[in-house]
Amino acid sequence: MKICPPSPSFFKLLGQAVLASLLAFWLAGCASTANYPAAPSAAATPDYNYLVGPGDSLNIIVWRNPELSMSVPVRPDGKIATPLVDELVAQGKTPVQIARDVEKALSKLVRDPVVTVIVTNFIGPYSEQIRVVGEAAKPQALPYKQKMTLLDVMIAVGGLTDFADGNAASITRASEGDKRYSVRLKDLVKRGDISANVEMKPGDVLIIPQGWF
């Protein structure tokens, strides 16, 4: 039985079919990204207060009691220990709340203590951190700062990789029930389009997918 090689027209049709399949796949990916609404440009709330997290350093000042004043780290379990205060939960609280808690603990041994707490190293609780995953040069978690923008985040992570599909990136917003928004990282980082810059919120996750070509 003689087997004839495929004709040139067969390869042409095969190439067209493969190209059509790739194009359909690419368009489907674009369509799925377009389903997310654009991230709002303004997101920060004026009443935001910094919350302390593991790894933060706290400068605790007890007025007129220098022997009780010191700088202490927040342990991985979210607690701190100072003279006369063995265990105190600091994670998830504002510096003012921690100061009042220390005053309450010291009042059993010190008359009318007045305490001030100053944060000297900022990391924040995990629930407040900004996480960047995917095709960033240096994917990582960043402490949230008031009025922090997408551009600030991209500078911190070193920009996009050569394989990133920046305009298909998205933000998952934990503070809004994991609602997802689309962002235009390529326009912002590669083209300098400041209109693509948006504000971040505590707990945001920035997802940067890989482009196919």
Q: Are residues 142 and 74 in the same domain?
A: no
Per-residue confidence (pLDDT) for residue 120, from 0 to 100: 94
The answer to pTM > 0.85 is no
Q: What is the pLDDT of residue 42?
A: 95
Q: Give the pLDDT score at 7.
A: 53
Residue 6 has a pLDDT of 55
Out of 121, 137, 161, a domain closes at: 121
Query: How would DSSP label each residue in 132-149?
Result: EEESBSS--EE---TT-B
Establish if 186 belongs to a structural domain.
yes
Last residue of a domain, one of 69, 93, 121: 121
- Amino acid type, 169: A
Do 196 and 137 lie in a common domain? yes
The amino acid sitting at 28 is A
Mean pLDDT for back-to-back runs of 10 residues, the chain (213 residues):
52 47 44 75 93 98 96 97 93 98 95 96 95 98 97 98 96 97 97 97 97 72
Whether 11 is in a domain gets the answer no
The answer on 164 and 101 residing in a single domain is: no
Q: Is 129 in contact with 179 (CB distance < 8 Å)?
A: no
153, two tokens:
């985040």
Domain co-membership, 162 together with 97: no
Residues 136 and 177 in one domain: yes
Its domain, for residue 105, covers 57-121
